[in-house]
Amino acid sequence: MKIKLQIKLLVTGAVLLLGACASTTKPGVVGVTRQQLLLVPAATVERMALVSYAQQAEKAKAQGKLITSGEEYDRLLRIANRLKAQVGVFREDTRDWKWQLILIDAPVLNATCAPGGKITFYTGIVRQLKLSDDEIAAIMGHEFAHALREHGRERVSQAVAQNAITTAALAGAQNRQTQVALANQFAQYLFVLPNSRQNESEADGIGLELAARAGYDPRAAISLWQKMGRASEGKNTPEFLSTHPANTTRINEISALLPTVLPLYDAAKQ
Where in the sequence numbering do the catalytic residues fall?
143
The residue among 239, 152, 251, 242 whose CA lies nearest residue 208 is 251
One-letter amino acid of 43? A
Residues 6+ apart with CB under 8 A from 85: 214
Q: Give the DSSP per-residue string, 159-214.
A: HHHTTSS-HHHHHHTTSHHHHHHHHHHHHIIIIISPPPHHHHHHHHHHHHHHHHHT
Report whether 40 contacts 169 (CB < 8 A): no
Q: How do beta strands 36-37 and 21-22 pair?
A: antiparallel
What is the SS3 assignment for 36? Answer: strand
SS3 69: coil
Q: Is the distance from CB of 188 to CB of 48 less than 8 angstroms?
A: no
Please name every residue paired with 167 in a beta bridge, in sequence order, or none if there are none: none
What's the sign of the alpha-carbon dihedral 98, 183, 207, 246? Answer: positive
Residue 65: exposed, middle, or buried by beta-carbon count in 10 A (0-12, 13-18, 19+)?
middle
Q: How many CB atoms lie within 10 A of CB 234?
A: 8
Q: List phi, psi (to 5°) of 185.
A: -70, -40
